[in-house]
Structure 1
């Protein structure tokens, strides 16, 4: 093959190689800011559901601890009942051993006066009933005590398992957050958005709802902090819980559980202080009027004022 043909063939092969390699090189290029933003939003949505699951588990643990305290409080008196009933049964057994049942009956029935026979039989029957009642009382107390103790043991075991699950969930969230903050820094130059407090006019709302609305406005600009309910940071359900807590109302720290605890209303019935739910009960915000809500959006952002239609609402609720 002539040197010219060899050169032409080399050029042709090199050109083909460049065409084949170029797409692969482009595919490995760093994602653009818009692509990173899309990834951040998708991962934030997943993370928020994980955080809300963590919050729900925390609420479950609170209930488990309360149940444990209640059971412990009941076991003390039950133990005393069992001990008292056991002592009475023991005393009956000791008396029967010393006197003997037939001997007692002989004394009662051996009276020579027939006029006293009916009274003696009544006395014997009463003694038998008393013994049966005391034994029955002991049996009931013992069975109730053992049932309550078994329930307490089961509750404590569940509490231990929940604590382990909580620890594992916390580690996963922190690992996911680390990746998310890295992407935010690559896309926006900072892992956390700069926040500023609200300087506009806070709408005048009366009653407890007004207290919740003012609290939410005061929270604007504070960072999203997972599993937090203030005062320095919030997640979505932590913000709505804290706002209504300031108004003297108790809500659980979980969006889905808040949905279960409020009265469900229509869009047309919305009033300031009502809750708006999103993302299949994975997110919640506080309605403040004029088509606006205040919410803690996602990791790396701050509490903000937004349109009620920032996402498609799942439903609306009024705190009872």
Structure 2
């Protein structure tokens, strides 16, 4: 009862003194610029490239796990045959010359005990000694491959864990970029979302570069998709990888390794077909000549032709 009375008194006091209370205005959100939006999309694309690399690493580990698993199965078959052959030899010898307690070791499933039993038999001839040595090598190889398999599985689990965290980071960065974009004026949003030039460039490049450019050109207007490697949606590095694959040239999946796989060139040396990337390695495109670049820009836009001056600053030639 005293609490309610005190509360009522406080409320009354506040009401009476209301004219003296100054209410702080709501803190306005900081203004967002086009540059802020572009940076937000850059952060999202950087996370996408990290995720692409983790995915590529996980796929490679998966393939290696399958390969080692197949090797283990083959070695186990040899192991079983060798063990059975050695066992049959000893059974025959036991019939001809009893071995006493030592023969009990030969029934053990423990390879070390089995070999100990064999080693204890002085009557082994040269052929059996060679078979024993071969069996030992097979066992060691089997253990080695099993250890490799276990290590690859641990690496894969770690990659998948990182990929899950990176996927969350990408989602958060993309939501932030969309939110920033929505805070621009309608006119600014329209201007930012306008597509670039989609007029195909003909007869650009030579050899593999010409074929890569032709492939990229055939994707003009296709939407940007995170992790996209075609055929109907692309991210920046996915488009470059598939363009050069169409020309018979294999390049890595991710921006940084794609640039590293080529030969660095200067802006003055650029030729059609050269890869052009942001210094941050968050984005990549292909030079067409005449100061133009074809690329997959960002979500909400499609494969387009833009100016080389649009943030690109690292250049490499795919040989």
Residue 248 (1) aligns with residue 248 (2): yes
In the superposition, relative to structure 1, how do residues 187 and 302 fare at CA in structure 2: closer, same or farther (>3 Å)?
Answer: farther
Residue 29 of structure 1 is matched in structure 2 by 28
Give secondary structure in 1 for the equivalent of 2:277. strand
Give secondary structure in 2 for the equivalent of 1:279. coil
Give secondary structure in 1 for the equivalent of 2:280. helix
Residue 280 of structure 2 is matched in structure 1 by 280
Residue 319 of structure 1 is matched in structure 2 by 318
Residue 225 of structure 2 is matched in structure 1 by 225
* Aligned partner (choices 57, 60, 63) of residue 63 of structure 1: 60
Render the CA deviation track for 1:8-40: whole Å, top value 9, x for unaligned. xxxxx98xx79xx6xx65xx33444xx342321
Name structure 1 gaps, 5 residues minimum: 1-12, 103-124
* Aligned partner (choices 40, 49, 53) of residue 52 of structure 1: 49
Q: CA RMSD in A?
A: 3.0
Render the CA deviation track for 1:184-212: whole Å, top value 9, x for unaligned. 12215469825477135434434321121
Decide which moves more: 190-199 or 166-175.
190-199
In the superposition, relative to structure 1, how do residues 220 and 197 fare at CA in structure 2: closer, same or farther (>3 Å)?
Answer: farther
Alpha-carbon shift at residue 255 of structure 1 (Å): 0.6
Matches within 5 A, 1:301-320: 301-311=301-311, 313-314=313-314, 316-320=315-319
Is the CA contact (8 Å cut-off) linking 2:209 and 2:247 kept in structure 1?
Answer: yes
Residue 152 (1) aligns with residue 126 (2): no
Residue 295 of structure 2 is matched in structure 1 by 295
Residue 158 of structure 2 is matched in structure 1 by 161
Give, in whole Å, the separation in 2 of the partners of 1:199 and 1:267.
23
Give, in whole Å, the separation in 2 of the partners of 1:72 and 1:147.
12
Is the CA contact (8 Å cut-off) linking 2:296 and 2:304 kept in structure 1?
Answer: yes
Decide which moves more: 302-311 or 233-242.
302-311
Matches within 5 A, 1:187-202: 187-189=184-186, 193-195=193-195, 198-199=198-199, 201-202=201-202
Give secondary structure in 1 for the equivalent of 2:193. coil
**TM-score w.r.t. structure 2 length?**
0.75
Give secondary structure in 2 for the equivalent of 1:305. strand
Give, in whole Å, the separation in 1 of the partners of 2:68 and 2:36.
48
Render the CA deviation track for 1:37-60: whole Å, top value 9, x for unaligned. 232122222222111100000110
Alpha-carbon shift at residue 244 of structure 1 (Å): 1.3
Give, in whole Å, the separation in 2 of the partners of 1:204 and 1:93.
75
Alpha-carbon shift at residue 267 of structure 1 (Å): 3.7
Is the CA contact (8 Å cut-off) linking 2:238 and 2:253 kept in structure 1?
Answer: yes
Alpha-carbon shift at residue 240 of structure 1 (Å): 0.8
Give, in whole Å, the separation in 2 of the partners of 1:288 and 1:50.
27
Residue 80 of structure 1 is matched in structure 2 by 77
Is the CA contact (8 Å cut-off) linking 2:228 and 2:238 kept in structure 1?
Answer: yes
Alpha-carbon shift at residue 254 of structure 1 (Å): 0.5
Give, in whole Å, the separation in 2 of the partners of 1:137 and 1:127.
14
Indicate the structure (1 or 2) with the bigger Cα radius of gyration.
Answer: 1
Residue 93 of structure 2 is matched in structure 1 by 96
Alpha-carbon shift at residue 97 of structure 1 (Å): 2.4
Residue 143 (1) aligns with residue 124 (2): no
